[in-house]
């Protein structure tokens, strides 16, 4: 007789960030629909506050985790560990910034209303679930919640380019999700569980020679394809330039920050946490993806003329950097002393999320004024028209390039350091060289902003809330760049994850 079904106990406080986000989304929809149009900016403020409070709750939960050690929630469906809280905080920070920027972007269009903010919060919840998932099915649920909301957001603008972007993202994303799901199914066939902890236990207890790995490996390959698509790693990046360019800029910012952070968190969960015993199988694949992303991202970025496309390719190269960290984490996945790979990826994600939102916010301000054009020529003379904005842009681009004294350097250095520590010299050197190549791309934008002849254009108006978001992003970029200890002391705990 099988044992009695035991209901999962639920720690409501530990789930509070998700509940706050969902409540925020539903509240916006319900209250927003019942009341007449709110005063300007209030929708944005409410969603930014929702995201912020979820992030603050995650900090408190982190304290709990630090005191009581990691565990799982809802019958092993979600992890209750510092890793999850870190991802939650990063996602919430980026979401709050995007929410602030969104206000000015949708003002005066049919989209001015609570729906778009509800979608942002929903997507962010999906991202948080992905970061915390301890079960492949839950991971997939999070992925779909995030992706579906993103498809809609990508197509939310009534332009041909926006529609095309949404359509492409939807079809290719749907395919990737299907591939991912197939991968889960095959992995389940091999591991006989979708729970990460049970998967690890399963492979721990079987001798490598005895197990039939063909299903696991095939499933692993498909999982990597699906995740590779979501993180926009070459050669699965083909969608990203078109979609980044076509989608509304604030949505692009969200995709590049929250979307990427969640997908990488999921990748770490699946590869490093769930499948450490197959690290010698997946690490070479990640190695190839990393190098392809670095090289393709940085070289193709340089020949673009549209700033959003440039940044799309640059985000491919950032994905390459993150994969360098994943590869480094793969060397000692599952060991007691696991090295710095995982930690460096998470730090990179958090810092990149903030600075990429800032960058795209400035692109949004400039392109809105130029009638929606994001050609590099519209940035010409920005230094004359809006010196402070141009300064913020410079700081953020320097950070993207990984220049010292910005957070981007801390991020890149950490990843390369962890690769070097694992003696992955080739990948570290390629990463550094591609960083220098990519630096010329950012330089081009900066040169255009500061040195190009100013054409007689009115200075672009900077909406207050967008200005706040940009200032926050730039401030974080600088403060973390100058005092990285602030962040680094904090992140040591994240490798102590639950499963």
Q: Does the footprint of other proteins cover residue 398 (CB under 8 A)? A: no
Phi, psi (rounded to 5 degrees) for 69: 85, 160
Task: List the one residue out of 178, 121, 123 whose CA is nearest residue 146.
Answer: 123
In angstroms, the CA 204 to CA 227 distance is 24
Least distance from C-beta 358 to other proteins, angstroms?
A: 20
Least distance from C-beta 192 to other proteins, angstroms?
A: 6
Return the CA Rg of the chain: 22
The smaller minimum CB distance to other proteins, of residues 266 and 469, is found at: 266
Q: Token pair for residue 26?
A: 């539903």
The smaller minimum CB distance to other proteins, of residues 98 and 398, is found at: 398
Site for other proteins in 33-62 (CB under 8 A): 33-34
Among 373, 375, 488, 496, binds other proteins (CB under 8 A): 488
Site for other proteins in 413-452 (CB under 8 A): 413-414, 417, 420, 425, 428-429, 432-433, 436-437, 439-440, 443, 447, 450-452
Q: Does the footprint of other proteins cover residue 484 (CB under 8 A)? A: yes
Site for other proteins in 320-379 (CB under 8 A): none
The smaller minimum CB distance to other proteins, of residues 174 and 334, is found at: 174
Site for other proteins in 214-273 (CB under 8 A): 214-215, 217-222, 224-225, 229, 235-236, 238-239, 241-242
| Pattern 112-151, other proteins, x by CB under 8 A | -xxx---x--x--------------xx--x--xx--xx-x
How many Cβ atoms sit within 10 Å of the Cβ of residue 453? 7
Least distance from C-beta 56 to other proteins, angstroms?
A: 25
Site for other proteins in 69-88 (CB under 8 A): 74, 77
DSSP string, 314-355: HHHHHHHHHHHHHHHHHHSTTSSS--SHHHHHHHHHHHHHHH
Exposure on the CB side of residue 440, measured as CA atoms within 13 A: 12
Compute how many residues bind other proteins; rule: CB under 8 A: 98
Phi, psi (rounded to 5 degrees) for 403: -80, 140
Q: Are 361 and 473 in contact (CB under 8 A)?
A: yes
Interstrand relation of 78-80 and 71-73 (parallel, antiparallel or unpaired): antiparallel
Least distance from C-beta 367 to other proteins, angstroms?
A: 20
Q: Are 234 and 289 in contact (CB under 8 A)?
A: yes
Q: Is the dihedral of CA 50, 56, 62, 63 positive or negative?
A: negative
Among 37, 59, 63, 158, binds other proteins (CB under 8 A): 158
């Amino acid at each position: 007789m099988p044992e009695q079904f035991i209901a999962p106990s639920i720690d409501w406080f530990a789930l509070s960030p998700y509940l706050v986000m969902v409540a925020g989304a539903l509240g916006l929809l319900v209250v927003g629909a019942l009341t007449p149009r709110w005063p300007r900016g209030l929708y944005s403020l409410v969603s930014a506050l929702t995201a912020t409070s979820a992030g603050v709750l995650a900090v408190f939960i982190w304290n709990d985790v630090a005191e009581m050690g990691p565990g799982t929630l809802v019958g092993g469906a979600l992890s209750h560990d510092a890793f999850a809280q870190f991802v939650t905080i990063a996602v919430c920070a980026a979401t709050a910034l995007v929410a602030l920027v969104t206000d000015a972007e949708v003002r005066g269009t049919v989209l001015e209303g609570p729906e778009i903010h509800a979608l942002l919060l929903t997507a962010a919840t999906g991202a948080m679930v992905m970061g915390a998932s301890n079960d492949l099915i839950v991971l997939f649920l999070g992925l779909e919640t995030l992706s579906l909301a993103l498809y809609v957001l990508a197509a939310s603008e009534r332009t041909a380019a926006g529609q095309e972007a949404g359509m492409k993202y939807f079809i290719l994303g749907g395919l990737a999700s299907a591939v991912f799901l197939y991968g889960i199914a095959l992995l389940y066939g091999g591991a006989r569980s979708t729970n990460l902890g049970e998967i690890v236990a399963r492979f721990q207890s079987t001798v490598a020679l005895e197990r039939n790995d063909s299903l696991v490996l095939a499933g692993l390959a498909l999982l990597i394809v699906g995740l590779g698509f979501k993180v926009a790693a070459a050669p699965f990046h083909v969608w990203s330039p078109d979609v980044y360019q076509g989608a509304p800029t604030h949505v692009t910012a969200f995709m590049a920050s929250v979307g990427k952070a969640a997908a990488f968190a999921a990748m770490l969960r699946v590869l490093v946490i769930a499948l450490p015993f197959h690290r010698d199988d997946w690490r070479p694949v990640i190695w190839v993806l990393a190098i392809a992303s670095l090289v393709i991202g940085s070289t193709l970025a340089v020949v673009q003329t549209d700033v959003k496309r440039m940044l799309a390719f640059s985000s491919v190269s950032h994905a390459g950097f993150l994969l360098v960290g994943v590869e480094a984490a793969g060397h000692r996945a599952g060991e007691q002393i696991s090295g710095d790979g995982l930690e460096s990826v998470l730090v990179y994600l958090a810092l990149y999320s903030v600075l990429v939102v800032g960058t795209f916010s400035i692109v949004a301000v400039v392109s809105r004024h130029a009638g929606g054009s994001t050609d590099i020529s519209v940035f010409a003379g920005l230094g004359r028209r809006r010196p402070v904005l141009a300064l913020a842009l410079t700081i953020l681009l320097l950070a993207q390039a990984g220049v010292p004294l910005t957070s981007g350097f801390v991020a890149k250095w950490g990843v390369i350091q962890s690769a070097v520590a694992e003696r992955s010299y080739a990948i570290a050197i390629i990463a550094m060289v591609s960083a220098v190549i990519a630096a010329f791309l950012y330089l081009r934008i900066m040169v255009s902003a500061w040195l190009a002849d100013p054409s007689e254009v009115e200075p672009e108006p900077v909406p207050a809330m967008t200005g706040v978001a940009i200032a926050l992003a730039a401030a974080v970029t600088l403060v973390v760049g100058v005092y990285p200890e602030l962040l680094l002391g904090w992140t040591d705990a994240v490798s102590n994850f639950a499963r």
